[in-house]
Structure 1
């Protein structure tokens, strides 16, 4: 009987150990879940996922410095320097920064000289929409249907080309800048829309005029050129007025009229 009781005691002890094993083993996964949690290096920093309920305060996800900088944050903290010519522009650049990045338009330096004034003559065209009066050019120039401008004078058409001299006025078609000089620069860039594709500007003259600025320049497209000028003047309207003249080299005899146009812009009244 003593041997039987001893065997029963050994069996009971083994059963207790087995039960203890069953209780202890399920606790191991809980300890793993409650351990430190590290976010993957590629995880977005602003995923918005809530921390695990079992995680301790010291077990917050760790994110590398590179992953913590979003593109928006990088762009807002980057210096806003002037782009180099030819680069593509991202949203947010100013009109002047876009101008300086345009390879068709060189910087206007102090080396660009003033133009000698010319007598505009006595005949003028009044443009009440811009508040300006401009020179009425002599023959072979003639008035023409103005749209989409407010006044328009042209040279005769030439056989074999659609290019001919044109002198127009209109309210400023681009955004006015704080500096009249900057406004004139943007206006000159806008006039490339009215020259052949691939045109580039070379500055010939730059100077202030009454309540505005005047620029004279050469436009090169392939082997051909035009002479052109823009005059931006505050005529007292909601927007400044623009006078723009361009003459191709096939009508170079009328290049002399560009000086008359540039010198002859007046404010009405």
Structure 2
């Protein structure tokens, strides 16, 4: 910007120098005060007029410099835009020419391939009327060859499918083996459970026999208890009579320490019996 300003200043006419005011007038000895004041006022007005004139000229010069700088900036921007537009147009033209060249090369290649195909057909194929009539044996051999080729393709395809299925089959085989092991373990557990059930059934049978025997005994005891209850008055009388006789014998014997021997006891019992 400073360079542009310097360039503009160099193109503009020389700037007028700031006016230097003359020395302030001094009252002379033979000059009265009124004349001195008039001369001083004239000096002041002249100096102010020159200063205003210089300021106007300087403002006009600066405005001209600003306008010139704006014009130069606009010109530079326009030149840059024109340059970018020209470069873009040149790039588009280059891309269009390259696209056209590629299209032309592709068309040439297609034409060459078509011409080469026509040449091959002319060299290796004959018209239908010029072809020899094939025999039945040749047709059979050709059909057999086609069938064998199709069979080979089919076998190869089946082989690839089997190879692809092999990991799946191996995985299923492992699963089946694990299932067989689980079934064997379950069968063993089932046998153990059946043996345990048999033992439990035997224990239950023995317990049932014991319960039946106990119930039979209980029934017998209950029937015996009923009979004893029915004959309880007679038994009570007999028990009372037995107790009285025992008490009588004990009272008759007296103190057992007085017995000297067996003869004394015998005599005492004989006395009691008499």
- Tell me which of the two structures has the higher relative contact order, counting C-alpha pairs closer than 8 angstroms and 6 or more residues apart: 1
Give TM-score, length-normalised by structure 2.
0.27
- The structure with the greater share of residues assigned to strand is 1
Q: Which has the larger radius of gyration?
A: 2
Give TM-score, length-normalised by structure 1.
0.27
